[in-house]
Structure formats: structure tokens, C-alpha cells
Amino acid sequence: MRDVTPDNITEVFTGYFGPDTDPRFKEVMGALARHLHAFTKEVGLTHDEWRAGLKAMEWAAEITTPERNEFVLMSDVLGLSSLVDMVNSHPGATSSSVLGPFHVSDAPPIAMGADLKGDFEGEVLLVQGQVRDLDGNPIPGAKLDIWQTAPNGLYSSQDPDQDIMSFHGLMTADEEGRYAFTTVRPVEYTVPTDGPVGQILNAAGRHPWRPSHLHFIITADGCRELVTEVFPEDDPYLDQDTVFGVRRDLVMSYEPQPAGTFPEGFDLSGKVDGAWSKVNFDFKLLRR
């Protein structure tokens, strides 16, 4: 086009697509360009602001490694990652929520009633529930890949003092789709703030905290994989998760239990003297 204008640029852009372009590619790229064009026009983006955006990308490029991806974090704090989770959630199923960067592949299998707490300090937390389909039928043998922070707020992959598989386990649900394990309460933590995302949060007057949570990836034959997190209702950051991961159906509660009531059937049975807490959380998976 020899006469590109702010009014026709989106049209010119879509006019450049070749005749054999994949229709979905065209739809996604065309919409991306249209919304970015609308943004640029609406705010009258200046050259300095455009350059500041590019500087943020260049800085993100410099500090991104296989272990620390600043582009994913940028998507997280803009709410994009959570929005992708939400638009791909099925209304009847348990909501998905951000995977985050701290998942470790090949977690060790753990048996029903196993313990993740080990020698770490803190009150024993018993977590249990059932994996069902949308009709309420249990899903026997569902696999639950479980991980969380240690009491110091660090995941094993961040903490040289932890074994890499500390607070990680892969549990197989029983014949009734039930799972149960012991651990300690996960704690709230901050996203990394030493890059452009930290600078953006700071300029926005936002804190970098996430509410504490237990991570789960749940898979079962014939079901859609569920990547999610569950959050305690009494967490101070529940209403201000900096990556927008909380959904109403992912909120659970710690139920305090008096000393001397810890049940049989757990690795820790007979070893819990004081008070402990319990979480009941059921998952609903979508059958494909």
C-alpha cells in the first residue's frame, strides 16, 4: 500500500496474507495485529514509550534461561497466562491455573498416605480428596503430580539445601479415585523482581506476592489433563495474586484438628503428637 494510514493499517496488514494461509493462523495473527494497532492508536504511543517497551523485551531476553523465563513471567503478571487457562477451562470441570516455572519432571512415585514433610518444621497437614468426572463418577488410577514450596518459601529447584525431589511426588489415586498425603503448609512467595517485570510491578505500585498454594497436574486415561493449584482461604494474598491464578473453585480451607486424633493409614500414623490440620479437596476432570 503506498498510502498506509492509521485508519487502514490493520486492513493493509490482513491484505498481505497469502491465499494459502492457514485460516486459524490468519485469525489469530490478524486479531493480534488489530488489537495492538487499536492499543497504539488509543493511547497515542510515543516513540519513547515504544522504545521503553523494546528495552523491556531486550532486558527480558538477556536474563531468560531455561530455568528462568522472563517472557512467561511477563505474560503471568499481565494476566495473559491466567486468561489462557480460563478460556480453555470447561465450566463444569475444576479450573486450571498457572503451571509456573517450578515444576520438576519425573517426580518420584509416592504411595497412598505418603509423607512429603520429612524433617521440615511445621504442623502436619493432611491433604485428601477424590478425583471424579463431571457426572460424579470416581476416576480410579488418576495420576496426581504434586509439588509445593518448602517452609522457607523456596521450591526445591530454587534451593541448594533441598533435594531436587523435596516436596514433589507422583501419587496414583485408588479404586475410588481417592488420594491422600501429608505435608506442611506451603507458604506465599514472590515472583522474581530483578528484571523488567519487577520494574513494571514497581512502576505500577504492585507487590510481587503470590498466595500460598499446592500445585497439581492430574492426568487420567480418556480425560483432559488438569494443571492447577489450590489456595487456602485464609491467605493474606488470596485477593491479590500477582499472577491472577486464584479462582473461586480453587479455594480450600485448613481444618484444625486436635492433638491425638491423627488417623491410621498414613506414613506418619503414630508419629503425630500435636495438633494437625486437614484439607479436603476434590477434583473434577473432563472426559474427552
Per CB under 8 A, the segment of 24-32, 141-149, 157-165, 216-224 that binds its own copies is: 24-32
Per CB under 5 A, the segment of 28-36, 57-65, 172-180, 221-229 that binds Cu ion is: 28-36
The neighbour count for residue 31, using CB atoms within 10 Å, is 12
Options 28, 31, 32, 38; binder of Cu ion; rule CB under 5 A: 38
Options 64, 158, 172, 199; binder of its own copies; rule CB under 8 A: 64
Give me the 196-225 binding string for its own copies, x by CB under 8 A, dash otherwise. ----x--xxxx-------------------
Reading the block at residue 25, the C-alpha cell is: 493462523
Options 37, 178, 224, 278; binder of its own copies; rule CB under 8 A: 37
- Answer whether 162's CB lies under 8 Å from 97's CB: no
275 interacts with its own copies by CB under 8 A: no
- Give 139: exposed, middle or buried? Use CB within 10 Å, 0-12, 13-18, 19+: buried
Closest distance of CB 275 from Fe ion, Å: 26
162 Cβ contact partners less than 8 Å away, ≥ 6 residues apart: 150, 154, 156
- For residues 229 and 144, what is the distance between their CA atoms, to the nearest angstrom? 12
Options 84, 111, 164, 259; binder of its own copies; rule CB under 8 A: 84
Secondary structure of residue 207 in the 3-state scheme = coil
- Crossing angle (nearest 10°) for helices 47-63 and 196-203: 130
* Residue numbers 235-274 binding its own copies by CB under 8 A: 238-242, 244-248, 251
Per CB under 8 A, the segment of 40-48, 108-116, 117-125, 168-176 that binds its own copies is: 40-48
